[in-house]
Structure 1
Amino acid sequence: MAPVISKRVGLMRYGVMLFSLAYLCLSIATAIYILMLQRSFTVTTIAIYCYIQVCANWRALFVNSSKDYGVLVEEGLEQDPQNFCPECNIFKNKKSHHCPLCEYCILRHDHHCFFLGTCIGLNNQRYFVILCLYTGVGSLYLSLQIFLTSDWVFQSLVQLFGAIHAVRLRFFPSQNNNSGQRIHGDCVQPVSNYWHVLHLHVWSSSSSPVPKRHVA
């Protein structure tokens, strides 16, 4: 009789996996769209190759996970009661571990990956490592390309930097020790003019005298 999967186990087993799969497909589609806008054949080709490797190893990981269940002890050999699995009702290999989510004994069980919805064991561990490698390389490569070729990234950083210093000038006024002039947020232009705020902060910082060194 097949074991009944509870709603909680089913949600953890399939819900997170479907969410991660949808997120992966969305990220791949978004990445390819952004790269196509750059009109760079080399950049797009490398990124697509990395994501093809991710999808291929994802599939290989699932195909081999079905072959990675606990190894039965051959009949006639000594069977250790400590290696008996009451959930699977078998004498499992001593290097196997029972996973309550997959409901199988996994040979050389490493961990249960919630994002993939399966266990990582002997037969699919190498595909999992390659999957993580290509995912990391592809994500890093894509992030660098977007950061280096997109003007909106630089503009966003400038706006964030200016907004931080606008808040600083509003709540923590600065004073020029040479002229005694006080720079307060009330004299600053609207926050949308981030370049003006940035220039004020640079001027305030550069015009302040260097603190004296106290020699013991």
Structure 2
Amino acid sequence: MSSTQTAQVSASRSFGALLSERFSCRGYRPDPVPRATIDEILRLAQRTASWCNSQPWQVIVNSAAATDRLREHLLSLPPGQPSGFDIPAPADYRGVYKDRRRACGLQLYESVGVTPGDRVASAKQARENFAFFGAPHVAIVTTEAILGTYGAVDCGAYVHNFMIAARSLGVASIAQAALAARAGVLREWYDLPAERQVVCGISFGYADPDHPANGFRTARADIGEACRWVD
């Protein structure tokens, strides 16, 4: 095997390890991430491929102090406040998609001691989304409305690369569509122009290994379920 092939195999294994190790972190230590580390995450994520290299994402990154202010504000809002997505949420989850969503939810509830049917406890856990699960930082990802679906798709790729880059630097993260449900609140908080749409948030920081919500991992479908091969 040539030196180039060896390097390629090594890189593949490293990327595979990052994909396998990354998880949606729902419990963080309070320690802020150094600014230099966050800048490196942003630099790496900026290499994300996009339609016509449009790079539609604009990201608002909160320091620990700014995260605390936003956390306090979101938690002060009535729990039953109507959702307000800029980009329509899924109309429904059916079939295997419903099954996977339910399995993930049950794993989370079991990890934190929420029994099925306990609406009070499940609502309390849902509120953790707006506490950013205790993360010291949150990033709000937005796109240009006129770019439509493909602008949002490009931002999805950016979110993935952000989380993988974070993992490569020892930083845990979770992408949060729940924060997009407060798009109107975030638009007012950050004085966002009307043409910017909130795609999602990314809470990030250093994982608390002792937090029960970090003790489970979701499964992935077999390749055969996700891929149709044509000869």
Category of TM-score, reference length = shorter chain: under 0.3
Point out which structure has higher relative CO (alpha carbons under 8 A, 6+ apart): 2
User: TM-score normalized by structure 2?
Assistant: 0.21
Question: Which TM-score applies when normalising by structure 1?
Answer: 0.22
Larger Rg: 1
